[in-house]
Amino acid sequence: MATDDIYILGISMTKFGKHADKDIVDLGAEAAMAALRDGGVSMRDMGILAAGNLMGAGGYGQQLQKQIGQTGIPVYNVSNACATGATALRTAIMAVKSGEVRMGLAVGAEKLAGAGLLGGGGQGKKDSNKWEPKGRYGAVAPTDGRIGTDTMPGTFAQVGMEYGHKYGGVSFELFAKISEKNHAHSTLNPMAAYQKRFTLEEIMGDMMIAYPNTRPMCSANCDGAAAAVVTSGEVLKTLSADQRRRAIKVSASVLTTDPYQEACQILPDVNTLTRNAATIAYEQAGVSPTDLDLVELHDCFATAELVHYDNLMLCPEGGAVDFFMSGAPWRDGKTPVNVSGGLQSKGHPISATGIANIWEICHHLRGEAGDRQIKDAKVGLAHVIGLGSACGVHILERSAA
Amino acid sequence: MSTAQQIPLVSYLHLTPSPHLVANECTSCGARFFDRRNACAGCFQTEFRPVDIPTTGVLKAFTIVAFAAPGVPVPFVAGIVDCGGTSVRGNVINTDPTPEKVSLGMKLRLATYSLGTDDEGVEAIGFGFEPA
């Protein structure tokens, strides 16, 4: 191992689902303490805490630290849409990489069970008694529902449909089949919020949210947390044989935002920043898409999963429909995608997601994934994207030690 | 006064001489925006000129929203319309909001409608796109 390589020493996630009797600090503490135990280290070894939480009141890292260990280390509170967890991890990685700290802890936690529709707000929209231009568009009344939609299911529905307009081959049934795959995968994952297999008919016949996304084709709002301990190759060399064996190499850690493209301020462009992040990640890792044994990508909606096959270059440009129809992303296919069940069934407690998907990859690379183990997995990729936009891509490899 | 006073839903909708959308075009790189700008997101320059956007276009993405925030009537069709190379966000109106009536690639034209009149008698005018 090279001394400047980065490793995940310990990693953990809570079960995703409803945790009515736990708050975000309980959930984060559970994940953080389990990650420290998993890595065979303690808060005393940590040089930095990067804490991700989106929906809370702020200052989450300090609240967490009060419960798990106040050692005086710097806390970075991170908020970066659905890429919050990945951003927390990347913050800890940068601190280790810079040489300022020997080890770092990244945590992401969210309480989202019962949150309902995201984007466009749960607030009622009401016109005032006087038409007065406000904001950057000089709008005299709320525009959500009048000039397109601000809802997440509707936004990502358009993302999938736009891909169909460009390359053809999409249909309601195709998108439903993607969801059928992820729900089928979830039956093997005891950490998933939902482990129910749905038939195609059940998925298509369920409540329509934003055509073509029905309810089971949308990410599941739930509670959960995930945490990871990172360190350098130099430090890892000094640790025990067992710690070295279970350490997972972070071959690439990349964060991007959306570069300007025509129409990107009309419909968010979730494609270019993902493709850019993937390109940099493959280059950093010296890995090509065909080397990947498994991928956890950001299937916030069934319509989103399709475009990311292409953006992550798992298929030739424009070939996402053919890639899916070939069976490639099923767990027994050429490039298994979302064997955890994905956000549609494992769930999407926003800030936890970007570390939990890395936990899933690590679990397989360590050969500890039980019934859903992808046999002899050596390399995996984890992807998240948050609107606004932010994209995190990490490539992980089994330790050679 | 023979006509009631009107105000557009958004300032980039111009009602005269006939309803059309107006973008802020970067004089340096040609990027087009519909909001008030500090600088161009593409090339960082700060000079813009108003340009009229064609009132016809092609539907390049859509969704039929069945579930929205309280107070937003559903279902409705939200879409992205390619108006001669400039993408515009808008609803597809004056047709049934069903997959049978709305399809990718369909030809559309700008249409306006009344949002109602405020306490001072001013009528707000919104826009959407209807089948051409």
Reading chain A (401 residues) residue by residue, the pLDDT tens digits are 678 899 999 999 999 999 999 999 999 999 999 999 999 999 999 999 999 999 988 899 999 999 999 999 999 999 999 999 999 999 999 999 999 999 999 999 999 988 877 776 555 567 888 999 999 999 999 999 999 999 999 999 999 999 999 999 999 999 999 999 999 999 999 999 999 999 999 999 999 999 999 999 999 999 999 999 999 999 999 999 999 999 999 999 999 999 999 999 999 999 999 999 999 999 999 999 999 999 999 999 999 999 999 999 999 999 999 999 999 999 999 999 999 999 999 999 999 999 999 999 999 999 999 999 999 999 999 999 999 999 999 999 998 65
Residue B121 sits at the chain A interface (C-beta within 8 Å): no
Contacts of B59 in chain A (CB under 8 A): 165
pLDDT band at residue B4 using 50, 70 and 90 as cut-offs: low
CB pairs under 8 A between A and B: 176
Beta carbons of A277 and B91 less than 8 angstroms apart: no
What ipTM describes this predicted complex?
0.96
Least confident of A161-175, B2-16, B111-125: B2-16
Please tell me the predicted confidence (pLDDT) of residue A1: 67
Does residue B1 surpass a pLDDT of 70? Answer: no
A265: helix, coil or strand? coil
Looking at chain B, which residue has its C-alpha nearest residue A207?
Answer: B66
Contacts of B42 in chain A (CB under 8 A): 260
Please tell me the predicted confidence (pLDDT) of residue A2: 79
- Residue B24 within any structural domain of the chain: yes
Q: Which residues contact A159 (CB under 8 A, 6 or more apart)?
A: A267, A268, A270, A271, A303, A304, A307, B61
Q: Please state, in angstroms and rounded to a whole number, the distance separating the CA atoms of residues A186 and A19.
A: 19
- Residue B39 within any structural domain of the chain: yes
Domain spanning A6-114+220-398: which CATH class is it, in words? alpha beta
The candidate with the shortest Cα–Cα distance to B7, out of B130, B92, B115, is: B115
Residue B125 sits at the chain A interface (C-beta within 8 Å): no
Please tell me the predicted confidence (pLDDT) of residue A115: 80
Beta carbons of A229 and A103 less than 8 angstroms apart: yes
Question: DSSP states of B30-96 as a string?
Answer: --EESS--SS-TTT----EEEEEEPSEEEEEEEEEE-S-STT--SSEEEEEEEETTEEEEEEE-SS-
Looking at chain A, which residue has its C-alpha nearest residue B67?
Answer: A209
Cβ distance B79 to A158 less than 8 Å, yes or no, reads yes
Looking at chain A, which residue has its C-alpha nearest residue B6?
Answer: A131
Cβ distance A162 to B71 less than 8 Å, yes or no, reads no
**How close does chain A come to B14, measured CA to CA in Å?**
12
- Residue B1 within any structural domain of the chain: no
Structure tokens at A81: 């849409």
Structure tokens at A164: 């169909």
Q: Please state, in angstroms and rounded to a whole number, the distance separating the CA atoms of residues A260 and A121.
A: 26
The beta-carbon neighbor of A120 closest among B12, B69, B127 is: B69
- Residue B96 within any structural domain of the chain: yes
Q: Please state, in angstroms and rounded to a whole number, the distance separating the CA atoms of residues B78 and A267.
A: 11
Residue B110 belongs to what domain range?
Answer: 6-131
Cβ distance A210 to B63 less than 8 Å, yes or no, reads yes
H/E stretch holding B110 reads strand B107-117
Cβ distance B71 to A266 less than 8 Å, yes or no, reads no
Looking at chain B, which residue has its C-alpha nearest residue A126?
Answer: B71
The beta-carbon neighbor of B11 closest among A125, A133, A142 is: A133
B117 - beta bridge partners? Answer: B123
Best mutation site among B12, B65, B119 for testing chain A: the one with the most A CBs within 10 Å? Answer: B65
Structure tokens at A93: 């990685």
Q: Is A121 exposed, middle or buried (0-12, 13-18, 19+ CB in 10 A)?
A: middle
Please tell me the predicted confidence (pLDDT) of residue A401: 56
Residue B84 sits at the chain A interface (C-beta within 8 Å): no
Q: At what angle do helices A172-186 and A302-311 cross, to 10 degrees?
A: 90
Structure tokens at B57: 């276009």
Q: Is A2 exposed, middle or buried (0-12, 13-18, 19+ CB in 10 A)?
A: exposed
Average pLDDT of every residue of chain B:
96
Placement of tokens 């006064």 in the chain: B1
Q: Please state, in angstroms and rounded to a whole number, the distance separating the CA atoms of residues A383 and A254.
A: 10
Structure tokens at B79: 């879409």
Cβ distance B78 to A211 less than 8 Å, yes or no, reads no
Structural domains in chain B (count): 1
> Alpha-carbon torsion A173, A178, A179, A185, what sign?
positive
Please tell me the predicted confidence (pLDDT) of residue A400: 67
Helices H, strands E: what count in chain A?
13, 11
Residue B9 sits at the chain A interface (C-beta within 8 Å): yes
Query: pLDDT digits over A148-180, tens only?
Result: 999 999 999 999 999 999 999 999 999 999 999
Q: Which residues contact A52 (CB under 8 A, 6 or more apart)?
A: A60, A78, A79, A80, A84, A85, A87, A88, A106, A107, A108, A109, A351, A352, A354, A355
What is the arithmetic mean of pLDDT over B53-59?
98
Cβ distance A131 to B122 less than 8 Å, yes or no, reads yes
Cβ distance B65 to A147 less than 8 Å, yes or no, reads no
